[in-house]
A and B are shown apart, each in its own frame.
Chain A
Amino acid sequence: MVSRRIIYLILTLVILIPLLRPFKLKPLPMKPVENLFYYINNMPKDKALLISVDYSPDTEAELHPMTIALLKHAFYKRIKVGVLTLTLLGLGLAEDALRTVVKEFNERAKTREDSIIYGRDYVFLGWQTPPLVPLLGMGESITKVFPVDYYGNRTDTLPLLQQIKNYRDVGIVVSISGSAIPMWYVTYAQTTFGVKVGAGFTAVSAADYYPYLNSGQLTGLLAGMRGGAEYEELVEKHFGKTKRRKATEAMSSQTTAHIMIIILIIIGNIIYFKQRRRK
């Protein structure tokens, strides 16, 4: 049997080397990702995209690129964006994603019209607890659930929230989470108010979400790093090159790690069959 230490050492190298020197990959967008992308892409101009950043730092590597790709897509299409979180630890990550993407767009902008402006193009609502309050409350009034935004501004004074009042004005809610929060959106927000829901989650949870996609309760989904990379591919295909594609870059490491795990399983089974024959 191969020692555990050797497996760990090889895995470290297999992940680290492609992470430092990523190779070129071209992800093939699948239907669930395409469904989400084209739904957002064809959304009416007066509808907003609500992104719920429901993950904490432990799943940042896998889920953060999804939030960034969604924000880029929305800003390219000039879709109004509302960002919130149902997990306290998601606040910093949501703020980071917004700061990164807004900076990238505003560096390129030549006029005020081209720029992405807080309150006009996007708002960061922050965090509210318990989750049931914003999940159901936003169906009646977003400003009532979030009287002040993350930065302390009164939400009823923000131009965007004077147009986007509740779920009726929201085209789709995309919940990105390492837990079951997207299902809460299906259970409470969609069942009660009929708002469309999309989901982004870690690859290990993919199997849990397919029944909801199959039933039409989820409009589309992004599963793990691959889902994020496929979304980045679609954004680039439609709107041209973007600054960085973190999910696609990380796919190099995931690719080599997957191949290594497959090889390990094969080796493990060969040893197992040899031992069984000997017995």
Chain B
Amino acid sequence: MKVRFPLILCLLMGIIGMVAYYIPHRIVQNFDNELRNTALRIIFAFSLVLGVGSIIRHHWEKIKRKREFWEYSYVTLISLFLTAFIGLFGGIDGKGLIKMQIGKFSFDIHTIYVNMAIPLGATMFSLLAYFMASAAYRAFRARNFEAILLLIAAFIVMLASVPPVARLIPKLPYISEWILDVPNTAAKRGMLFGITLGVLSTSLKILLGIERGWLGGK
């Protein structure tokens, strides 16, 4: 029953989810709306609890067993609890249940967002520029015909994004658009068809209980 019940539930929910797209009848549509607007939100709220629970357990285990980089787990856990505390009791602007203001400085979610989330996120993403520059220099070699084609396409697309060059060679942006619109689209579409077919078959396998990885492989 421990395995059969989740499998039946999965099949049932999958069918209900699909049926709404094919039967426009009011009863089916209303049921689908109710399921989506109410049940889905409740399930999502539970998944949040599950997510927070597993992140705490994972990092706590790491600290306990002193696994590699265990010190950073303290940073994660302290940040998690501190942000949750401020969010729950301080509110968005520090005017929640507990006043989080010292003089004019308000220690609230907005302050954390502006002074920590934004600079940290921007720093992580901007590091990409360095990796890309270094990788382009080290790895982008005209080793064979395919690599030469890739190199030419990359040069055209990159140069077309440089406004002075695009003004100097007016045809360049159009060639770049053509590369993205024709050969790129053709290749991407082929990949998309493949991916979609894969997703469809995996979904069917899950619904029919053939693929049971989500049940712990039972």
Total interface residues on A, CB under 8 Å, equals 59
> Would B137 and A2 count as touching, CB distance under 8 A?
yes
Q: In the complex, what residue of chain B is closest to A91 when comparing beta carbons?
A: B113
Q: In the complex, what residue of chain B is closest to A263 when comparing beta carbons?
A: B137
Interface assignment of B205: CB less than 8 Å from any CB of chain A: no
Q: Identify which of B4-12, B32-40, B52-60, B72-80 touches chain A.
A: B32-40
Instruction: Kindly identify, within residues 212 to 230 of chain A, every residue whose CB is under 8 Å from any CB belonging to chain B.
Output: 213-214, 224, 226, 229
User: How many residue pairs at the A-B interface have CB separations less than 8 Å?
Assistant: 139
> Would A214 and B185 count as touching, CB distance under 8 A?
yes
> Would B159 and A92 count as touching, CB distance under 8 A?
no
Q: Identify which of A45-53, A56-64, A110-118, A166-174 touches chain B.
A: A56-64
Interface assignment of B217: CB less than 8 Å from any CB of chain A: no
Interface assignment of B173: CB less than 8 Å from any CB of chain A: yes
Contact partner, B158, options A130, A144, A258, Cβ 8 Å: A258
Contact partner, A7, options B121, B134, B181, B185, Cβ 8 Å: B134
CA distance A255 to B141 in the complex (A): 22
Contacts of A31 in B (CB 8 A): 177
Max chain B CB contacts within 10 Å: which of A1, A265, A267? A265
Closest Cβ of chain B: how far from A248's Cβ, in Å? 9
Interface assignment of A203: CB less than 8 Å from any CB of chain B: yes
Contacts of A132 in B (CB 8 A): 36, 40
Contacts of B164 in A (CB 8 A): 25, 255
Contact partner, B36, options A7, A137, A206, Cβ 8 Å: A137
> Would A262 and B158 count as touching, CB distance under 8 A?
yes
Interface assignment of B208: CB less than 8 Å from any CB of chain A: no
Q: In the complex, what residue of chain A is closest to B112 when comparing beta carbons?
A: A92
Closest Cβ of chain A: how far from B143's Cβ, in Å? 8
CA distance A251 to B164 in the complex (A): 11
CA distance A26 to B173 in the complex (A): 14
> Would A265 and B151 count as touching, CB distance under 8 A?
yes
Closest Cβ of chain B: how far from A133's Cβ, in Å? 6
CA distance A15 to B127 in the complex (A): 12
A137-B173 contact given A7-B137, A226-B161, CB 8 Å threshold:
no
Contact partner, B137, options A26, A254, A265, Cβ 8 Å: A265
CA distance A255 to B160 in the complex (A): 10
CA distance A8 to B134 in the complex (A): 8
Q: In the complex, what residue of chain B is closest to A213 when comparing beta carbons?
A: B181
Interface assignment of A239: CB less than 8 Å from any CB of chain B: no
A26-B163 contact given A130-B40, A265-B151, CB 8 Å threshold:
yes
> Would A28 and B41 count as touching, CB distance under 8 A?
no
Contacts of B185 in A (CB 8 A): 210-211, 214
CA distance A60 to B122 in the complex (A): 7
Interface assignment of B99: CB less than 8 Å from any CB of chain A: no
CA distance A260 to B130 in the complex (A): 12
Instruction: Kindly identify, within residues 109 to 163 of chain B, every residue whose CB is under 8 Å from any CB belonging to chain A.
Output: 110, 113-114, 117-122, 124-126, 129-130, 132-134, 136-138, 140-142, 151, 154-155, 158-159, 161-163
11 further interface pairs, Cβ-Cβ under 8 Å (given A11-B133, A130-B41, A269-B141): A7-B133, A25-B164, A58-B125, A60-B118, A61-B126, A89-B113, A129-B44, A132-B36, A145-B37, A261-B133, A265-B140
10 A–B contacts, CB within 8 A, in A order: A28-B173, A30-B173, A31-B177, A57-B122, A58-B124, A92-B118, A211-B189, A261-B132, A265-B155, A269-B140
